[in-house]
Amino acid sequence: MNQTTLKLYTLRNIEQLPQYQQLEPEAKEALRVVAHILPFRVNNYVAENLIDWNNIPNDPIYQLTFMQKGMLDESHYNLMKTALSDSGQTEGDLAATIFKIRNELNPHPAGQLSSNVPSFEDRPVPGVQHKYKQTALVFPSAGQQCHSYCTFCFRWPQFIGENDLKFATDQQMTYLKYLKEHEELTDVLFTGGDPMVMNSKLLQKYLEPLLSPEYNHIQNIRIGSKSLSYWPQRFVSDKDSQEVLDLFKRVNDSGKQLAFMAHINHINEMQTDIFQEAIHNIRQTGTQIRTQAPLLRHINDDSAMWAKMWKEQVRLGMIPYYFFIERDTGPKNYFSLPLAKTWEIYKNALQEVSGLARTVRGPSMSAHPGKVAIEGMNVINGEKVFVLTLLQARNPDHIKKPFLAKYDENAVWFDELVPAFGESKFFFEK
Ligand SMILES: *Cc1c(COP(=O)(O)O)cnc(C)c1O
Ligand code: SF4
């Protein structure tokens, strides 16, 4: 396989991307304005192989990677556009406008910064979130980027260079001490950004310590990544691809499970030869690949596409795992769908696939109480309700207990729902 070099395009050099020249002036303006607020990055593989440039602006991968005007509300858009075209603005003025708009986009939903960060010897452990008993998230400091950025990304504050908004491990790797002490943990999930942007040496620095006996309680090591879609070369033709695959094999040979959590939004990400080759190579190491993605208006709000995608994932040996609802942050107004519609798309897709693809759980909202799943809708004593459960909760006793919210045809997020039958609180709030 020939080596392809990763070439990254951002606002600074996007004019060098040949296809950029064919965009309409309005599309170029939208990209420039919105990309001052939200992170923009696309690479040569995505631009050349995944985007259908004859289908602009509706192409799902174009919507997934290129900013659109509607991703900011009109007042924010106009504020930013005016600031950029006003030559009287200093760098400082611009930065203040950008900062103000970003802060109005709910950069840290569901208590991210405050309620999930654990401590060790009375100090916060940098780069760790431990919300659910069995699973800790680790954010490697060198993995806080991706091979391209998704326009909807709920982790967008990780990429905009404001350190106080970032999660990342420290030099001393304090997180290891925390993981060692917490024997209730069975799973560690490396996330970001994308841990697969790290070279094999760095990856090894994060994975290998967990293979020693002090970490016997950790059975499953997960890597959350979009590299299969955005840079499958990582597992096929990069300089250190073989080292990466060898490392994966060493983890599995040690008796632990390496689980690769692949983020795949659309079936168009799955159709290149190199994507399928990457899956083959990862599976050869004994690594199981599970898939997850949020539902997004403009990108994948189509149950037939989901059904086709899940079937194709099963055909390629992957296990559909989570169907998420886009979080209430950043450009959520552009992407969100009513919960009622979301449930319908999920259910209709599920009906089209066999049991092997019905492993996918959801539709799930990562909200303050935990992962809230919509189980369905019903009418009880004349009142229309949503039936909900918690798939994950801080308190394991709360999991899988059905509860009811008053039906609301426009609600797009959990905090817009109220308990059914005039009750004042949901059971877990009592
Ligand atoms: C989803 C999630 C996990 C993993 O949960 P599983 O149900 O074990 O897959 C862990 N931590 C957080 C904060 C999550 O949102
Ligand atoms: S790959 Fe994940 S972390 Fe990276 S930009 Fe996309 S959604 Fe965000």
Name, in order, each residue with C-beta under 8 angstroms of 113's C-beta and a sequence gap of 6 or more.
165
Instruction: Indicate the top mutation candidate among 65, 71, 146, 167 to test ligand 2's pocket, ranked by most ligand atoms within 8 A of CB.
Output: 146
Cα distance between residue 344 and residue 53, in whole Å: 31
Percent of the chain with pLDDT strictly greater than 70 = 97
- Residues 375-393, mean pLDDT to the nearest whole number: 96
Q: Is the CB of 137 under 6 A from ligand 1?
A: yes
Residue 241 — left, alpha, or beta (φ > 0 → left; ψ -120 to 50 → alpha)?
alpha
* In the predicted structure, residue 115 carries a pLDDT above the cut 90: no
Q: What number does the ligand 1 atom closest to the CA of 135 have?
A: 10
Distance, CA of 416 to CA of 197 (rounded, Å): 37
Residue nearest to atom 3 of ligand 2 (CA): 193
User: Residue 163: its pLDDT value, please?
Assistant: 60
CA angle 339/384/420 to nearest 5° reads 85
Quick check: CB of 326 below 6 Å from ligand 2? no
Phi, psi (deg, nearest 5) at residue 157: -65, -20
pLDDT at 124: 87
User: Which residue, judged by its Cα, is nearest atom 7 of ligand 2?
Assistant: 153
pLDDT exceeds 80 at position 399: yes
Give residue 114's pLDDT band: very low, low, confident or very high (50, 70, 90). Answer: low
- What's the pLDDT score for residue 158? 82
Residue nearest to atom 4 of ligand 1 (CA): 135
43 lines ligand 1 (CB under 6 A): no
pLDDT tens digits, 153-178: 988 888 887 666 578 888 889 999 99
Mean pLDDT of 200-221: 97
Per residue in 303-338, pLDDT (tens digit) is 999 999 999 999 999 999 999 999 888 899 999 999
Mean per-residue pLDDT for 233-261? 98
Contact 135 CB / ligand 1 (< 6 Å): yes
Q: Using a 6 Å cutoff on CB, does residue 131 contact ligand 1?
A: yes
Over the stretch 66-94, which tens digit does the pLDDT of each residue have?
999 999 999 999 999 999 999 888 989 99
Percentage of the chain surpassing pLDDT 90? 87
Please compute the mean of the pLDDT values over residues 393-422 and round it to a whole number: 96
